[in-house]
Amino acid sequence: MAFLEVRDLVVAYGAIQAVRGVSFDVEEGQIVSLIGSNGAGKTTTLRTLSGLLRPVSGTVSFKGEQIQRLPAHEILGLGVAHSPEGRRLFARMSVEENLRLGAYTRKDEDGIVADIQRVYDLFPVLGERRQNKAGLFSGGEQQMLAIGRALMSRPKLLMLDEPSMGLSPIMTQLIFDTVKELRAEGTTVLLVEQNALAALGLSDQAYVIDLGRTTLSGTGAELLADPRVQEAYLGEGVGAE
């Protein structure tokens, strides 16, 4: 049994099925990517995994336990953190308050303070402006804060939705370097990306989602080499640096 197992997930918004059969595995300690075009159902999948949406059918097992019916705050308690698409920071709160909200479920004040410091070490720019309102930061800095916030719950599985969206190539590289660092520290990462080239480059395992279904899977390198992937997602210019 894999660390995270998703089987035949179907999710609908009213009558519209956004996800019609997604299945994939995430092994502990790996970086796993879901790639696919805009509207393929990647974000809906993540929102379902974190409990924001209820699936119509299908199962999600995390460490052997079925979690698809749990509310979001309980799923977080199990160790699954989700940094949502568009970062969704609390714009009118300070950096520090955002990080503290990330640690909302924790009670160990010392540990929280230490982890806040760890985020500041990881992203020094946040530490320098810790009392500033999050809404005032640039896109890349906001992404750092979003990842830092997700880390504050000490997740076993970190889910990142489009962390590179709207970022400059340098910033994207920085974010992805951080993701690799997190893996080195033992955090499992589930990455959703439109920037397929960058995502596949660092993924241990990857899945292609097309029209709400998982269509291809393989290691990052395999998919990078796959002509179908190249044609559909790595066409000229896409994700090139």
Partner 1 sequence: MSIFLSQIANGLMFGSLIALIAIGYTMVYGIITLINFAHGEIFMVGAYGGLATLTYWVPTAVVARWYFALPIALVAGALVSMLVAVAMERFAYRPLRNAPRLAPLITALGVSVALQEAVRVFYPGATAAIPFPPLFIQGAFVIPIGDGVVIRYTGILLIVVSLGLAFGLERFVERTRLGRAMRATSQDRDTARLMGIDPDRVIVLTFAIGGALAGVAGVLYGSYLNNINIDMGFQNGIFAFTAAVLGGIGNIRGAVVGGLVIGLVRALGGQYLPGGTAYDYVWIFVVLIIVLVFRPQGFFGESERVRA
Partner 2 sequence: MSEVTSESASTTETAEAPVRTVPAAPPARHTGRLAGPLNALAPHAKIGMVVGGVLSIVGAYLAWSTFVLNEGAYPERATLTMFVEPFGVTGFRLHITLLGLATIVVALLRVPAKHRIVRGLGVGVTAVAVLNGLWITVEGGGLGAITASDGTVAFGSIVALVGGLVTVLSATAGGLEDKPVWEWKLAWWVEWILLLVVFVLILLLVAEVLTSGGQGGVVNPYAGVVFLSLLAALAGAFAALNASGLLTWVGEVSERHRVFSVVVLLLCALALPFTGAGTEYWMTVASNIGVYAATAIGLNIVVGLAGLLDLGYVAFLGIGAFVAANLSGAAASVIGIHVPFLLVMVISAVVAGIFGAIVGSPTLRVRGDYLAIVTLAFGEIFVRSAQNNIAGLTGGANAIPNIPQVALGSFQFNQSISLGPIQLPGGVMYYVAIVLLVAAVMLVFGNLKNSRLGRAWIAIREDEDAAAAMGIRTGPIKILAFLIGAMLAGFAGAFFAHKTAVVAYDSFRFLESVTLLAAVILGGMGTIPGAVLGASILFVLPEKLREFADYRLLLFGLALVLIMRFRPQGIIADKHRKAELAEDPEDAAKEAPGALPTEVK
Token pair 């698809």 is at which residue? 68
Say which entry of partner 2, partner 1, none residue 16 contacts (CB below 5 to 8 A, set by partner kind).
partner 2
Question: Which residues face 217 on adjacent strands?
Answer: 207
Binding string, 23-62, against partner 2, x = CB under 8 A? Answer: ----------------x-------x---xxxx-x------
Shortest CB 104 distance to partner 1, Å: 5
Q: What is the CA radius of gyration of the chain?
A: 17
Give residue 78's Cα distance to chain centre.
16
213 binds partner 1 (CB under 8 A): no
Closest of 205, 178, 177, 175 to residue 190, by C-alpha? 205
Which of 18, 82, 119, 145 is the binder for partner 1 (CB under 8 A)?
82
Strands 31-35 and 205-210: parallel
Shortest CB 160 distance to partner 2, Å: 19
81 binds partner 1 (CB under 8 A): yes
Residues touching partner 1, count (CB under 8 A): 24
Q: Give the other-Cβ count within 10 Å of 67's Cβ.
A: 18
Token pair 């977080």 is at which residue? 76
Which of 57, 66, 105, 168 is the binder for partner 1 (CB under 8 A)?
105
155 binds partner 1 (CB under 8 A): no
Say which entry of partner 2, partner 1, none residue 13 contacts (CB below 5 to 8 A, set by partner kind).
partner 2
Token pair 């059969």 is at which residue? 21
Question: Which residues face 7 on adjacent strands?
Answer: 59
Q: Which helix (H) or strand (E) holds 223?
A: helix 220-225
Residues touching partner 2, count (CB under 8 A): 16
Question: Which residues face 17 on adjacent strands?
Answer: 12
Pick the piece of the chain touching partner 2 (CB under 8 A) from 8-16, 110-118, 147-155, 162-170: 8-16
Dist. CA 136–CA 138, nearest whole Å? 7
Token pair 């990078």 is at which residue? 224
1 binds partner 2 (CB under 8 A): no
Say which entry of partner 2, partner 1, none residue 92 contacts (CB below 5 to 8 A, set by partner kind).
partner 1
Q: Which residues bind partner 1 (CB under 8 A)?
A: 50-52, 71-73, 76-77, 81-82, 84, 88, 90-93, 97, 100-102, 104-105, 149, 153
